[in-house]
């Protein structure tokens, strides 16, 4: 029998996890400016040595946000009717505004630097709004209009509607999931059985590499859709307490599997691995993703399950800062180019300027009617406390996926 009372109020550690996951976004995307992976603009000098450090968060960062978003959605569903309307207002207005206003500068400087587009920004916007498909290089053509880093918003909206329909059709499903989590052999269920969906999802990476094309991104849909559903069904179950109890074992499994995966990638960087080994690596990678999430959630449950006067303010700001940050990185990187700063100076400066500008944007926009809606900002003063069960939605950006 479960000796730990299930959470009834706000689970503060999930708020802190969301905030900390966001804290990785700005340095991660600044890092994308300097590494060999494809991105919108690139530094003249690349530093592939940064890539292993950036890959420390790649297996789990986005999955964590979908898991938390699922848990937040269960809280929103429990508050009564209007879920679909509130999710649509919260996610689709910022998506539309972002695609029309926030994202285009990223695409403009991408075509300026990659295909030497010589027109003005106004010329580019006319093509952008006409869905021009002629900006092409050896890697393909740029799809316009684009949502770039805002891809999380339509994905989350679709998953939210599907989750809503699922629970409306089978209202006892969440209780059944909670009962299953509370059954005997919780550690095996947590670390073994719940890893299987991500292991199976990883088998799709070769067929459906990550594209953020909503209609044809099946690898991402399987992994992120599963994690959203798990958060939705198990948010009020034994899941978080199990993660707390098994956090150290999960951390050890994650570290060992991450090391093996890195050795595999290094050894087969220029070689074709045997098929059996490729499939084994993909299964191990999927398990590693889950063990990372268990370890992170367990550590947060143990150490971060408390309130603080900054929590509500940061929670209120993260969505707006997320929307702004990647465009600001692109613009600031262009502004700093004439200074020819070394990367060791330029990188931290980009991080500081992006964070500062994003927060200033949030503080200004939260008092502007309509714009605060379009930027996902709660109007009025920064909240000192949110009602239990209410959680902000934030969106990350993409991480490189190897199909090897």
**Residue 136, helix vs strand vs coil:** strand
DSSP 8-state symbol, 98: I
Burial (CB count <10 Å: 0-12, 13-18, 19+), residue 369: exposed
Taking only the tens of pLDDT, the chain with its 404 residues reads 344 444 456 889 999 999 998 888 999 999 999 999 999 999 999 999 999 889 899 899 999 999 999 999 988 887 767 899 999 999 999 999 999 999 999 999 999 999 999 999 999 999 999 999 999 988 889 999 999 999 999 999 999 999 999 999 998 999 999 899 888 888 999 999 999 999 999 999 989 999 999 999 999 999 999 999 999 998 888 999 999 999 999 999 999 999 999 999 999 988 999 999 999 999 999 999 999 999 999 999 999 999 999 999 999 999 999 999 999 999 999 999 999 999 999 999 999 999 999 999 999 999 899 999 999 887 655 444 444 333 333 333 333 334 44
Token pair in block for residue 195: 């890893």
pLDDT at residue 26, rounded to an integer: 93
Region at 286 (left for phi over 0; alpha for psi -120 to 50; beta for the rest)? alpha
Burial (CB count <10 Å: 0-12, 13-18, 19+), residue 322: buried
Angle, alpha carbons 19-23-25 (nearest 5°) = 120
Q: Rounded to two decimals, what is the model's pTM?
A: 0.90
In this structure, the number of other CB atoms found within 10 A of the CB of residue 204 comes to 17
Chain mean position to CA 178: 25
Contacts of 71 (CB under 8 A, 6+ apart): 11, 14, 231, 232, 234, 235, 391
Angle, alpha carbons 241-291-262 (nearest 5°) = 160
Token pair in block for residue 323: 């929307």
Render pLDDT for 8-61 as a digit per residue (tens, 0 to 9): 568 899 999 999 988 889 999 999 999 999 999 999 999 999 998 898 998 999
| Helices 275-303/61-78 angle, 10° precision | 50
What CA–CA distance (Å, rounded) separates 333 from 224?
Answer: 31
Give long-range contacts, CB 8 A cutoff, 24+ apart: 175-178: 177/233, 177/234, 177/237, 178/6, 178/233, 178/234, 178/236, 178/237, 178/238
What CA–CA distance (Å, rounded) separates 53 from 46?
Answer: 15
What CA–CA distance (Å, rounded) separates 247 from 300?
Answer: 9
- Helix (H) or strand (E) run with residue 141 in it: strand 140-141
């Amino acid at each position: 029998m479960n000796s730990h009372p299930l959470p009834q109020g706000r689970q503060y550690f999930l708020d802190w996890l969301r905030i900390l996951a966001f804290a990785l976004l700005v340095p991660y995307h600044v890092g994308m400016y300097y590494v060999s992976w494809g991105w919108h603009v690139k530094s003249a000098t690349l530093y592939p040595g940064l890539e292993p450090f950036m890959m420390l968060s790649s297996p789990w960062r986005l999955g964590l946000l979908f898991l938390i978003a699922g848990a937040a959605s269960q809280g929103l569903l429990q508050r009564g009717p209007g879920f679909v309307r509130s999710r649509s207002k919260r996610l689709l207005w910022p998506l539309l505004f972002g695609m029309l206003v926030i994202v285009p500068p990223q695409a403009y400087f991408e075509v300026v630097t990659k295909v030497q587009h010589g027109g003005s920004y106004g010329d580019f916007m006319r093509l952008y709004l006409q869905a021009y498909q002629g900006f092409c290089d050896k890697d393909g053509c740029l799809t316009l209009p684009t949502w770039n880093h805002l891809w999380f918003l339509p994905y989350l909206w679709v998953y939210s509607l599907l989750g809503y329909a699922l629970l409306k059709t089978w209202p006892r499903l969440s209780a059944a999931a909670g009962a299953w989590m509370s059954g005997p052999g919780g550690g095996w269920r947590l670390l073994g059985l719940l890893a299987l969906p991500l292991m199976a999802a990883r088998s799709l990476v070769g067929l459906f590499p990550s594209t953020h094309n909503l209609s044809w991104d099946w690898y991402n849909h399987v992994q992120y859709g599963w994690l959203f559903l798990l958060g939705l069904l198990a948010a009020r179950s034994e899941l978080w307490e199990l993660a707390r109890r098994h956090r150290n074992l999960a951390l050890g499994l994650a570290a060992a599997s991450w090391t093996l995966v890195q050795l595999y990638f290094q050894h087969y960087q220029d070689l074709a691995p045997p098929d059996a080994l490729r499939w084994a690596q993909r299964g191990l990678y999927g398990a590693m993703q889950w063990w990372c999430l268990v370890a992170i959630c367990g550590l947060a449950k143990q150490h971060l399950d408390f309130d603080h006067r900054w929590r509500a303010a940061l929670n209120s700001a993260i969505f707006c800062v997320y929307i702004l940050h990647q465009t600001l990185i692109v613009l600031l990187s262009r502004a700093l180019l004439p200074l020819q700063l070394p990367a060791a100076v330029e990188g931290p400066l980009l991080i500081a300027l992006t964070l500062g500008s994003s927060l200033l944007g949030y503080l200004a926009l939260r008092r502007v009617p309509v714009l605060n809606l379009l930027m996902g900002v709660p109007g009025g003063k920064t909240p000192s406390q949110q009602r239990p069960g209410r959680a902000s939605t934030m969106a990350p950006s993409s991480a490189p996926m190897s199909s090897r």
